[in-house]
């Protein structure tokens, strides 16, 4: 099995809470902090070589996603700050932006430098949020470039919250399966 690669870079070592799930094949480099019960799924890359990445409690970054940052040219640049209870779908690209608590980024979506997705907002699958945009709470944006589509319903928001709980549960199951496989090999 391909273990995760946790790599210090220029004196900064990733800090990963003991209850976080880091799947095999993931690469985590540099100034990264991952909170309790967060999950980084198979073949994700979190590369904090030129700025920092923070991932809050219970947030999940699904298979094949890439999290990167924009460098600090004396203006602070753009770190990647992912709040608590955030859902990031498979194969997403999150670059130098802020995802507030309970934000949602759909599968294959792109979030570019300087963007903010507020809590309980959803960027649809395949959408591209161009630099500097701010998505208000309770809205769904879609398209390339992403634009406001509609307000989210209570059912939509509840579904996102259910998704967070589901990924915490799935991470525990995958962690147990990996430990069992290692014990028998």
Using CA atoms, how far apart are residues 180 and 161, in angstroms rounded to an integer? 29
pLDDT for the residue numbered 149: 98
Beta bridge partners of 48: 30
Lowest-confidence range among 14-18, 68-72, 108-112, 116-120? Answer: 68-72
| Bridging pattern class, strands 128-129 and 122-123 | unpaired
DSSP state for residue 154 in the 8-state scheme: H
Rounded average pLDDT over 173-179: 94
Give 119-142 pLDDT, tens digit per residue: 999 999 999 999 999 999 999 999
In degrees, to the nearest 5, what angle opens at C-alpha 80 toward C-alphas 77 and 82? 150
Q: Which 3-state string (H, E, C) describes 41-105? A: CCCCEEEEEEEEEEECCCCEECCCCEEECECCCCCCCECEEECCCCEECCCCEEECCEECCCCEE
Spell out the domains of the chain, with CATH numbers in brackets.
5-184 (2.160.10.10)
Q: What is the pTM assigned to this prediction?
A: 0.96
Give 43-80 pLDDT, tens digit per residue: 999 999 999 999 999 999 999 999 999 987 777 789 99
């Amino acid at each position: 099995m391909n273990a995760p690669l946790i790599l210090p870079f220029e004196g900064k070592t990733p800090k990963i809470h003991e209850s976080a799930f880091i799947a095999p094949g993931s690469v985590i480099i540099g100034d990264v902090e991952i909170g309790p019960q967060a999950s980084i799924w198979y073949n994700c890359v979190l590369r904090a070589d030129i700025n920092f990445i923070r991932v809050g409690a219970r947030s999940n970054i699904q298979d094949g996603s890439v999290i990167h940052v924009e460098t600090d040219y004396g203006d602070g640049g753009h770190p990647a700050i992912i709040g608590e209870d955030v859902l990031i779908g498979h194969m997403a690209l999150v670059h130098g932006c802020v995802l507030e608590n309970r934000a949602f980024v759909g599968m294959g979506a792109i979030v570019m430098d300087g963007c903010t997705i507020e809590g309980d907002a959803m960027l649809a699958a395949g959408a591209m949020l161009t630099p500097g945009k701010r998505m208000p709470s309770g809205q769904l944006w879609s398209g390339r470039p992403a634009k406001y589509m509609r307000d989210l319903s209570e059912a939509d928001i509840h579904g996102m919250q259910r998704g967070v709980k589901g990924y915490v549960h799935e991470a525990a199951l995958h962690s147990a399966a990996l430990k069992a496989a290692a014990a028998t090999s």
